[in-house]
Chains A and B, each alone.
Chain A
């Protein structure tokens, strides 16, 4: 299995462990990742909050590059990236005027030949049986609250992935890894997304409720597939505790870390050491 790979900025930076674990897990599953040459930023929330054209042009460049490079499938692990790439793809596919407008802006054509995948989709396509067959370390002590947040499943008309209100894909993956997926209520609530730095109060309030419900429903770990979610739940957990005078220590994993661990990677190979909240306890 061969797939184009668009890491995205944060995966190379603050979400480094995501990148590490995506590469590691794919290596262990025998999925070959072909890096997209000279990729650039997708524009993220900043672009679509301020300029519609930019919010299509920036992802547009990368889609066009992928097309040039002959990549028909493109893995974008970061939920924000995949969401922007898919949205841009859809918009250009639906409106010829926009498509040509963008073509002028990026000085490249795009003929809508690229299918963008998020990490969950990639593993789903890989197959749950196949995944289970690769598991060498059962994550038996894990009671995981699978947290999808916003950008993986919304808006359903655009992303066309899983169920917008009660998604199951991540639950199926962690179950295949031998962990228990807890049924909880905050699967698709928002964590505050890109406001990590620009509006701490808002982010800490929303993220607090997410962690609280996960704990209330009996989870001892949260799994995510989005750097923003991880930043807000893991990196900001100290700040959250400070704001709400609590002492929670809820480990937050990238689902790719769990896949890597399950398939035999050492915690360091999976990037666990980069977490702010200590996450070794559950790993045997």
Chain B
């Protein structure tokens, strides 16, 4: 079915993205240099320049539900080489944020979000990353699913995990810092501020 192109959709999405700090998508002339240099392009459903294109055309859901915004490894090659000096990697950040807020995160990419969440949860509660705890936390939620998709994963991670322990690279207890509560407060305040912003 043909995608509907509507002025309101185009304008409102462009405005939304720009106000969120994602830049003016209209500046992109679709040369594709970002896609050409993207190391993870082969894992994407939309190429980076197509993401910008969708923003230009107000195709909101296509972008927010895309795997691409989560496949992006934030390596910043696109931003560095863009002839129009458009900060495409940052646009990805912005789109991820909106995608999370609206619960549109691509199903196949949920692991990335789960990992980020596990990571941040760990930081929120300890002030620093408690790697073992985080890995455990993450694996509990995802290992089973991953194993179904790619059985080698378990085995490989096992290899790595074993090594980590054997090489004394993982602590069993989190380091605790004085500012623990302070960091927690920062998380709370950020959440509150973002809520109020989201409402606007």
Contacts and interface: CB of A to CB of B under 8 A. Distances in A.
Contact of B39 (A41, A190, A198): A190
Interface string B90-130: 00011011001000000000011111110110010001110
B75 interface: yes
A14 B123 contact: no
A16 to B, nearest CB: 6
Given A50-B97, A53-B194, A57-B190, A150 B77 contact: yes
A239 B75 contact: no
Nearest to B39: A190
Interface in B141-200: 142, 150, 152-153, 155-157, 159-160, 163-164, 167-171, 175, 177-179, 182-183, 185-187, 189-190, 193-194
A14 B190 contact: no
A14 B131 contact: yes
B120 A9 contact: no
A107 B183 CA distance: 11
A197 interface: yes
Contacts of B169: 13-16, 274
Contacts of A51: 97, 190, 194
The residue among A10, A50, A53 with the most chain B CB atoms within 10 A of its own CB is A50
Contacts of B89: 155
A218 interface: no
A105 B71 contact: no
Interface residue tally on A, bucketed by range: 35 or more
A197 B114 CA distance: 11
A156 interface: yes
B29 interface: no
Q: Determine chain B's interface SS by DSSP, over half rule.
A: helix
Contacts of B175: 12
A189 B129 contact: no
Interface in A141-184: 149-151, 154-156, 164
A282 interface: no
A107 B71 CA distance: 35
Nearest to A42: B123
A206 B43 CA distance: 11
A43 B128 CA distance: 9
B31 interface: no
Interface string B58-74: 00000000000001011
Contacts of B171: 13
B55 to A, nearest CB: 17
A193 B75 contact: yes
B75 A190 contact: yes
The residue among B93, B138, B168, B178 with the most chain A CB atoms within 10 A of its own CB is B93
A86 B93 CA distance: 17
A52 B93 contact: yes
Contact of A202 (B73, B94, B119, B135): B73
The residue among B75, B89, B93, B94 with the most chain A CB atoms within 10 A of its own CB is B75
Contact of B187 (A54, A150, A188): A54
A235 interface: yes
Contact of B160 (A15, A38, A45, A236): A236
Contacts of B26: none
A63 interface: no
Interface in A80-134: 101, 104-107
Interface of A: 9-10, 12-16, 38-41, 43-55, 57-58, 61, 101, 104-107, 149-151, 154-156, 164, 188-190, 192-195, 197-202, 206, 235-236, 238-239, 242-243, 273-274, 276
A-B interface, 10 closest residue pairs, ranked by CB to CB distance from nearest: A190-B75, A198-B115, A9-B129, A239-B156, A154-B76, A46-B116, A46-B119, A150-B75, A190-B39, A41-B123
